[in-house]
Structure 1
Amino acid sequence: MNISKKINHFHIHPILWAMIAIGIVTGSFLQLIAIFLIVLIHELGHYGMALYYRWRIRSVMLWPFGGVMETDEHHTRPLKEELAVSLAGPVQHLWLYGVIWMLGWMQWVSPSMVDLLFLYNTSILIFNLLPVWPLDGGHLLFLFLSHRFPFVKAQAYVIICSIVCIAFTVLISLLIFPFSLTIVLLACFLLWENRLEWKQRQYTFLRYLLKRHEDRNDSVHTLHAIHVPEDMPIHHIFHRFKRGTHHHIYVLFRNQSRKVIDEGECLYYYFTLKQSSASAKDVAEWSAM
């Protein structure tokens, strides 16, 4: 991948352009540049770690106090990789504290500017660690939940937690900083992102299943048995899948007998043979042939 393609991965969200325009009008352009640079360094941390693990990156969208990196790795990468990529952004703030202190110590910037940079760096770090999707904290929360609950439940739990956290944070922030346009814009943006994530959660889940079917390398650490009746639709079986777990499906027939099928057989039957309306019984009979 050449440099020009890497640069083309980065985009600026319209809200950030709007805030830059507001900064020019209000005379706070220098402060916005400082925020932009901190956000850019934060996202470069994610980007660099993703490149290190050879993730396929679609784009990096920069917006006030954070950004979103879209990839083609649909939640099937090993836990250590996803954890490293998620934490690579917040880690950048640690060495930035040292740089800011050095700038003040060498008197390259005024003491008031040093205090402001410390405030911006801390605010952006804390903001990104909130358990809100699609912030880093939201990704870390989803990573934790999706290894302990079925994928679809983890999706729902993260969105619910995000909305509650956004509402609580906005309430507290507005009590401290009344009539803050920035807080309102960020809250609207995050709520919109969660609304989109909720609407496309089934599509996200299907992409995850397809990726799991194609790669079959979901960093399996444990085996898990799923017991289902013979008439359960195959897509309902998938709703019980967890990450980091390989599943053996026990199909219980009406005559009290049972048949064990592997999750790979279910995924193959669903995606390759395109039997999306099949039942557990259909897969069990097919696998016995």
Structure 2
Amino acid sequence: MIKFLSSRMRIHPVFWLVMAMGGLTGYLWETVIAFSIVLIHECGHAAAARRFGWHVLEIELLPFGGVARIDGGRDVAFVQEFIVIISGPLQHLWLPFLSQAMLALPFWGPAQHQILTSQNMALLLFNLLPVWPLDGGRLLHLFLERLYPYKSAYYRVLLFSCLGLVLFSIIMLIYYRFSVNLWVMIAFISLSIYKERQVIPLHFLRFLMAMSNRKKVFRMNRWIYAQPDEPITSVFSGFYRNSEHKIRIVGEKGKEINGKALVSAFFSGRCSGGKLEDYRFPADD
């Protein structure tokens, strides 16, 4: 574990595997340059996150980029998350110019410059594929969260990721079937999608807890119409990020429930029956 930018940095075993395979096959410069590009890419994410005051728990280097693990205890603004996500790919734009300037150095020649520019472009394009957990997949997830409730957006991005990965694998099977590194990365992404699917309920729980504790009031108001006997957890499934929610009970004129108040009541045990009709209206609701 390495300490970097005031955050822990962890290098995933698959990253070491890919790097070792490159070194053993005589591609030392390619290995060093790939490591450097990935490191700079991830530093872009971490620096942007720190600029917004986010708590960066850990930076993990992956063969295709990296993951800056952020404390998920807050419902951060969409624009902030967009900037943090895009700050990684943006680092690829200035690297060719840096490489061009480094040609004046004795250890850096046209061969190294060519390696960097080609690897830099390949990693950028690969990382922008709309597949989780690549940055392209995270941007797609952010877009879907504007259109769908939190939980639904999560399931949809993973579904799209599976379809995108299958299509990408077919193309690679036709043109690059003997690229071992590529198939290792595809296998890793497949495993990442599966593991992310398993922890969606945990992410959703953290989302609700963050909602119950937040003080910020969002400008976006969303109305949810529900039956009195509808399970509260079903109502929660209609909650969006960066939004305030008002639940209107069908058939009970004038009865409206504040979404945040409902979440707080649920966690505090004031909805013992588990249905919307079991909610106890506080004096100010």
Q: Give the TM-score normalised by the residue count of structure 2.
A: 0.92
Name the counterpart of 1:270. 266
Amino acid across the alignment from 1:94: L
Q: 1:250 aligns with which of 240, 248, 251?
A: 248
Name the counterpart of 1:80. 79
Q: Give the TM-score normalised by the residue count of structure 1.
A: 0.91
Question: Kindly tell me: are residues 121 and 148 of structure 1, through their superposed partners in 2, closer, same or farther at Cα, counting changes over 3 Å?
Answer: same
Contact 2:272 2:278 in 1 (8 A): no
Runs (4+) of structure 1 moved beyond 6 Å?
none
Within a 5 Å distance, the mapping from 1:90-239 to structure 2 comes to 90-104=89-103, 109-217=108-216, 220-239=218-237
Name the counterpart of 1:30. 29
Question: Kindly tell me: are residues 167 and 106 of structure 1, through their superposed partners in 2, closer, same or farther at Cα, counting changes over 3 Å?
Answer: same
Distance 1:121 1:274 in 2: 55
Question: Kindly tell me: are residues 73 and 32 of structure 1, through their superposed partners in 2, closer, same or farther at Cα, counting changes over 3 Å?
Answer: same
Question: Kindly tell me: are residues 206 and 16 of structure 1, through their superposed partners in 2, closer, same or farther at Cα, counting changes over 3 Å?
Answer: same
Question: Kindly tell me: are residues 150 and 35 of structure 1, through their superposed partners in 2, closer, same or farther at Cα, counting changes over 3 Å?
Answer: same
Distance 1:50 1:76 in 2: 14
What SS is found at the alignment partner of 1:9?
strand
**Aligned pair 1:15/2:34, yes or no?**
no
Q: Please state how far the C-alpha of 1:108 moved relative to its aligned partner.
A: 5.4
Contact 2:212 2:261 in 1 (8 A): no
Deviations 1:115-144 (A, max 9, x none): 221111011111111111111111111111
Distance 1:234 1:25 in 2: 57
Q: Please state how far the C-alpha of 1:105 moved relative to its aligned partner.
A: 6.7
Amino acid across the alignment from 1:223: N
Q: Please state how far the C-alpha of 1:286 moved relative to its aligned partner.
A: 3.2
Deviations 1:240-279 (A, max 9, x none): 01122211100124xx545111012111111123647521
**Aligned pair 1:49/2:44, yes or no?**
no
Deviates more, 1:256-265 or 1:8-17: 256-265
Name the counterpart of 2:282. 287
Amino acid across the alignment from 1:286: F
Distance 2:232 2:80 in 1: 30
Contact 1:248 1:262 in 2 (8 A): yes
What SS is found at the alignment partner of 1:147?
helix
Unpaired segments of 5 or more residues in structure 1? none
Distance 1:226 1:216 in 2: 21
* Residue correspondences, number: 283
Distance 2:59 2:215 in 1: 27
Distance 2:107 2:4 in 1: 35
Q: Please state how far the C-alpha of 1:216 moved relative to its aligned partner.
A: 4.1
Unpaired segments of 5 or more residues in structure 2? none
Amino acid across the alignment from 1:229: Q
Q: Please state how far the C-alpha of 1:211 moved relative to its aligned partner.
A: 1.0
Distance 1:258 1:138 in 2: 42
What SS is found at the alignment partner of 2:50?
helix
Contact 1:59 1:71 in 2 (8 A): yes
Deviations 1:41-80 (A, max 9, x none): 0000001111111111211110112111111135610112
Deviates more, 1:22-31 or 1:9-18: 22-31
What SS is found at the alignment partner of 1:244?
coil
Question: Kindly tell me: are residues 145 and 74 of structure 1, through their superposed partners in 2, closer, same or farther at Cα, counting changes over 3 Å?
Answer: farther
What SS is found at the alignment partner of 1:227?
strand
Question: Kindly tell me: are residues 276 and 62 of structure 1, through their superposed partners in 2, closer, same or farther at Cα, counting changes over 3 Å?
Answer: farther
Amino acid across the alignment from 2:276: A
> Aligned-pair RMSD on alpha carbons?
2.1
Question: Kindly tell me: are residues 189 and 74 of structure 1, through their superposed partners in 2, closer, same or farther at Cα, counting changes over 3 Å?
Answer: farther
Distance 1:275 1:172 in 2: 52
